């Protein structure tokens, strides 16, 4: 039986990419793993008769034909998809940045790839002065918008991930003193005195509630101002935090 194998990432849909990323191959032999990959790439099942009857020589030949699989998809992405346009990342709002951080959490971005796109891609219109305006974030239903991207090729949107990673790295480098250190658990037994233990617990809490803590301080505890703050540009927020810090002002 002749099998039509995809020739590159440009032939792969987003749902196939997600399936590949989530593939559990911890207990699989090399050839079983390759069959699982081939099954995903051809929209078949690993226990399909076509794979069970496949001899090793032919399987090896198929593996050679998908050597492109060992690379990553292109970091390019479409600026426009249907009626939606990708926003300028430098104009991300504080709230949008926080939500993206959440969806990128623990580098499990492929689980949330559709929702990530729903944040980046917006409807647009030209206003009365001839300037392009983007759809306000607060009017978007993330789950509903996410469905728009389900039938795309992975090369249409994969680069949006690196687009965010590079911006996040820039933010963290430029405003490093505003990010709390990440406290990692370790198996190594270390004895701390009471004050050290209290400081570690404090840092863990600050890490857990980092964004909420910033919003709380900027709003001076006024919960009615939270929405206004999250609509401000993320760069404006960090510039303001830097100003407060440099001027030793009360937070």
pLDDT tens digits, 158-175:
999 999 999 999 988 888
pLDDT tens digits, 177-236:
766 554 455 555 556 555 545 544 445 444 444 677 788 888 887 878 888 889 999 999
Q: Which of 110, 121, 111, 126 is nearest to 144 (CA)?
A: 121
Q: Rounded to an integer, what distance in angstroms lies between the CA atom of residue 204 and that of residue 197?
A: 11
Q: Rounded to an integer, what distance in angstroms lies between the CA atom of residue 40 and that of residue 23?
A: 10
Percent of the chain at pLDDT > 70 equals: 84
pLDDT tens digits, 139-150:
999 999 999 999
DSSP state of 122: E
Confidence of residue 2 (pLDDT cuts 50, 70, 90): low
Is 229 in contact with 215 (CB distance < 8 Å)? yes
Q: Which of 43, 55, 57, 120 is nearest to 87 (CA)?
A: 120
- Tell me the mean pLDDT in the region 115-126: 96
Mean pLDDT estimate for the chain: 84
Q: Per-residue pLDDT for 157 more than 90? A: yes
What sections of the chain are H helices per DSSP?
Answer: 14-21, 30-41, 49-52, 56-65, 94-103, 113-120, 142-146, 154-157, 159-174, 194-208, 210-218, 226-230, 234-246
pLDDT value for 16: 95
Tokens representing 139 are: 């009017």
């Amino acid at each position: 039986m002749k099998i039509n194998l995809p020739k590159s990432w440009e032939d792969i849909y987003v749902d196939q990419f997600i399936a590949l990323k989530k593939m559990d191959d911890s207990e699989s032999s090399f050839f079983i793993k390759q069959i699982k990959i081939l099954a995903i790439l051809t929209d078949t099942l690993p226990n399909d008769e076509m794979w069970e009857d496949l001899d090793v020589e032919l399987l090896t030949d198929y593996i050679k034909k998908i050597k492109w699989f060992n690379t990553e998809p292109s970091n390019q992405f479409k600026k426009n998809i249907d009626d939606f346009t990708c926003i300028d990342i430098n104009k991300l709002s504080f709230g949008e940045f926080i939500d993206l951080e959440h969806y990128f959490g623990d580098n499990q971005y492929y689980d949330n790839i559709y929702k990530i796109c729903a944040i980046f891609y917006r409807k647009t219109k030209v206003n009365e002065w001839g300037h392009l305006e983007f759809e306000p974030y607060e009017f978007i239903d993330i789950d509903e918008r996410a469905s728009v991207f389900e039938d795309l090729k992975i090369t249409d949107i994969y680069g949006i991930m690196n687009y965010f990673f590079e911006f996040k790295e820039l933010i963290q480098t430029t405003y490093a003193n505003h990010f709390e250190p990440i406290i990692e658990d370790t198996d190594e037994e270390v004895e701390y005195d009471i004050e050290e233990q209290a400081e570690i617990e404090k840092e863990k809490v600050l890490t857990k509630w980092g964004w909420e803590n910033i919003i709380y301080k900027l709003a001076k505890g006024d919960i009615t101002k939270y929405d206004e703050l999250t609509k401000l540009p993320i760069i404006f927020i960090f510039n303001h935090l830097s100003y407060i810090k440099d001027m030793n002002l009360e937070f």
